[in-house]
Chains A and B, each alone.
Chain A
């Protein structure tokens, strides 16, 4: 997984509430079995009309937001389906950090698995960042956002922060470090709830 330290870019403002995972990645593209190269499908139906033509005025393709690695958005971002393609397409488009007042929980967990930082801030603060000209810089080491000359502190759960800073992968981490703990858990559980090991071993 890609480590996250600092990201600096213009911000992509998607300042509406409840941008769900069906908007982020429409279901019909779930038939694709790739996880790389999905950036073209990010918010697809907001960007491309049914005839395949670009939809004018959509913020994602606005040249002022070209190169954005940071999304500023509203409540419940990523609510709905658990499809990790929502994160893969967002990351494939180039986004490394999403700032919102609240997130769909499964989406936020999926972001963490893919080195995408989710930051929770009140909406007025997000609107203030969106109003600043120039680049926004997100520093996970210091847990600070720099927008114009304003420094805004944020907090992420410590374990998440360490994972992101190091780019750790869950499978590697568990297989390398937790094997004996998992085995001990299973032995104990098997003694207490043997049916869980008899019907499906």
Chain B
């Protein structure tokens, strides 16, 4: 067989039936469900009288609409309570394993899947959430889907999909202190635009990737969808296997060696060709921050708010002017002079233990600036407990940040955690869209270290200036 990329190998091994136009009926090995994108899926299934083909290949867990405050009380919002109750009932009725709100394994789907070893190299994984690209960090073919496809996967274990073109993204060089995966993702989108990955499956490669932890790889793959790519992947290696070994859903002792031997066949063949390749040298990169309402509006923290009059064309001039107006900024202002009201540290992008350690290191022994409301929301209850075992919760609380229960929280603003109109937030989440964190809210995307530094200084901050 001719040389193939990681994506092509995963595609080929999951085609149930190839159609003439390049699309295929693709087998889906694993499926994660949350409360917000699946109620209508189960209505469809019931209307059709369909059952779950392989119920134990799914996990259902509430994350989007759940409160991050006291878990001993019932959910206050009746709509959110009904949605979580519906997920539990639907999971029960269809025989799907359910992780409840007070379960020690609860958390954001994209944090829980890897933690449980449910996410494995070589598999296909679907979830009704666009950040499903996160799981590609394990060398899985993982993609976001809508509610209709969630129903189709439950009933048939399959999905109809167009084959993507392949896009190699090489990261080379040596990043400076406090410059990491979130900064790389924002810099790539800033340089190439939010559509650079549309129609493509990204594979991240290079020395920088080889040296990354699984957490950093997940952050990078997570942001692939912000580049338009439904799929972002990294080939499995020793780091991947070390992370997975011994996790509850990972292959047991008897099968482990067999699985690893198979996984070692997955990396892209030496002479395989990609449809496109781009590269980024991370050596001179500054910590990144967004100024506008698209992730592509990313700049180094040492930059200024752009001037619409400098735009290359009239369309872009109007767009920048509109963005700046929405964001309440003035052209030419130094980004570090932009004051903030809130700080959000968490989400499926940056809610893992490594992210919290990074933020804690920055705020340790310091105090949040007066007038700034900062919250830390762990990506899962397991992350929360690990952080507490390490004393990170005390560091955050002593510095004046609120320590919360796990969930999506202010990334999607479906619970009580949200911005008021006009409020400005330094956020480790993934989208700075209009209204994303609350109607008329203003979001600046950044890394956990940068958001933590911003909390301390009360404005968008260069973490390198407060912690060497």
Question: Which residues of chain A come closer than 8 Å to B129, judged between CB atoms?
Answer: 81-82
Q: Could you list some 23 contacts between A and B, CB below 8 A? A: A22-B433, A22-B435, A33-B40, A50-B439, A82-B130, A84-B128, A106-B146, A110-B146, A110-B148, A113-B148, A114-B148, A158-B21, A159-B19, A170-B149, A174-B152, A174-B156, A174-B158, A175-B50, A186-B27, A189-B27, A195-B255, A198-B252, A199-B251
Expressed in whole angstroms, the Cα–Cα distance for A20 and B128 within the complex equals: 17
Q: Mark B250-265, 1 if CB is under 8 A from A, else 0.
A: 1110010011001000
Q: Mark A53-86, 1 if CB is under 8 A from B, else 0.
A: 0000000000000000000000110011111100
Stretch at the interface among A2-10, A89-97, A137-145, A177-185: A177-185
Complex interface residues of chain B between 5 and 31 (CB less than 8 A to chain A) = 13, 16-17, 19-23, 25, 27, 29-30
Sample of 8 further A-B pairs with CB below 8 A, known A80-B130, A200-B56: A16-B319, A26-B439, A27-B412, A35-B40, A81-B129, A82-B146, A174-B25, A194-B255
Expressed in whole angstroms, the Cα–Cα distance for A34 and B258 within the complex equals: 45
Known: A22-B434, A104-B228, A106-B146. A198 touches B251 (CB 8 A): yes
Question: Which residues of chain A come closer than 8 Å to B439, judged between CB atoms?
Answer: 26, 28, 45, 50
The size of the chain A interface, using a CB distance under 8 A, is 59
Expressed in whole angstroms, the Cα–Cα distance for A113 and B37 within the complex equals: 15
Known: A22-B433, A80-B431. A106 touches B148 (CB 8 A): no
Stretch at the interface among B75-83, B99-107, B327-335, B368-376: B75-83
Question: Which residues of chain B come closer than 8 Å to A201, judged between CB atoms?
Answer: 54, 56-57
Whether the Cβ atoms of B148 and A33 lie closer than 8 Å is no
Stretch at the interface among B191-199, B300-308, B343-351: B191-199
Question: Which residues of chain B come closer than 8 Å to A33, judged between CB atoms?
Answer: 39-40, 82-83, 86
| Least distance between B14 CB and chain A CB atoms (Å) | 8
Whether the Cβ atoms of A175 and B155 lie closer than 8 Å is yes
| Least distance between B313 CB and chain A CB atoms (Å) | 12
A109 within 8 A of B: yes
A32 within 8 A of B: yes
Whether the Cβ atoms of B413 and A27 lie closer than 8 Å is yes
B64 within 8 A of A: yes
Question: Which residues of chain B come closer than 8 Å to A191, judged between CB atoms?
Answer: none
Q: Mark A1-42, 1 if CB is under 8 A from B, else 0.
A: 000000000000000111010110011101111110000000
Q: Mark B229-259, 1 if CB is under 8 A from A, else 0.
A: 1100000000000000000011110010011
Question: Which residues of chain B come closer than 8 Å to A110, judged between CB atoms?
Answer: 146, 148-149
Question: Which residues of chain B come closer than 8 Å to A31, judged between CB atoms?
Answer: 36, 65, 77, 79-80, 83, 414
Question: Which residues of chain B come closer than 8 Å to A27, judged between CB atoms?
Answer: 412-414, 435-436
Complex interface residues of chain B between 385 and 407 (CB less than 8 A to chain A) = none
B212 within 8 A of A: no
B278 within 8 A of A: no
Question: Chain B contact residues (Cβ within 8 angstroms of A): what range?
Answer: 35 or more
Q: Mark B181-197, 1 if CB is under 8 A from A, else 0.
A: 00000000000001100
| Least distance between A76 CB and chain B CB atoms (Å) | 5
Whether the Cβ atoms of A84 and B249 lie closer than 8 Å is no
Whether the Cβ atoms of A17 and B319 lie closer than 8 Å is yes
Question: Which residues of chain A come closer than 8 Å to B158, judged between CB atoms?
Answer: 174, 178, 182
A149 within 8 A of B: no
A196 within 8 A of B: yes
Cβ-defined partner of B36 (8 Å) among A30, A102, A172, A182: A30
Whether the Cβ atoms of A196 and B155 lie closer than 8 Å is no
Question: Which residues of chain B come closer than 8 Å to A113, judged between CB atoms?
Answer: 146, 148-149
Cβ-defined partner of B431 (8 Å) among A22, A83, A109, A189: A22
Expressed in whole angstroms, the Cα–Cα distance for A178 and B59 within the complex equals: 25
Whether the Cβ atoms of B435 and A159 lie closer than 8 Å is no
Whether the Cβ atoms of B198 and A102 lie closer than 8 Å is yes
Known: A50-B439, A82-B37, A170-B160. A18 touches B83 (CB 8 A): no
| Least distance between A112 CB and chain B CB atoms (Å) | 9
Whether the Cβ atoms of A157 and B162 lie closer than 8 Å is yes
Complex interface residues of chain A between 130 and 165 (CB less than 8 A to chain B) = 157-160
Whether the Cβ atoms of A178 and B17 lie closer than 8 Å is yes
Question: Which residues of chain A come closer than 8 Å to B79, judged between CB atoms?
Answer: 31-32
Question: Which residues of chain A come closer than 8 Å to B144, judged between CB atoms?
Answer: 82, 106
Cβ-defined partner of A171 (8 Å) among B152, B230, B433: B152
Whether the Cβ atoms of B130 and A196 lie closer than 8 Å is no
Whether the Cβ atoms of A105 and B198 lie closer than 8 Å is yes
Question: Which residues of chain A come closer than 8 Å to B319, judged between CB atoms?
Answer: 16-17
Question: Which residues of chain B come closer than 8 Å to A35, judged between CB atoms?
Answer: 40, 43, 147
Whether the Cβ atoms of B128 and A82 lie closer than 8 Å is yes
Residue of A nearest to B23 (CB): A159
Cβ-defined partner of B44 (8 Å) among A16, A20, A106, A171: A171
Question: Which residues of chain B come closer than 8 Å to A81, judged between CB atoms?
Answer: 129-130, 431
Whether the Cβ atoms of B228 and A105 lie closer than 8 Å is yes
Question: Which residues of chain B come closer than 8 Å to A157, judged between CB atoms?
Answer: 21-23, 162
| Least distance between B290 CB and chain A CB atoms (Å) | 13
A87 within 8 A of B: yes
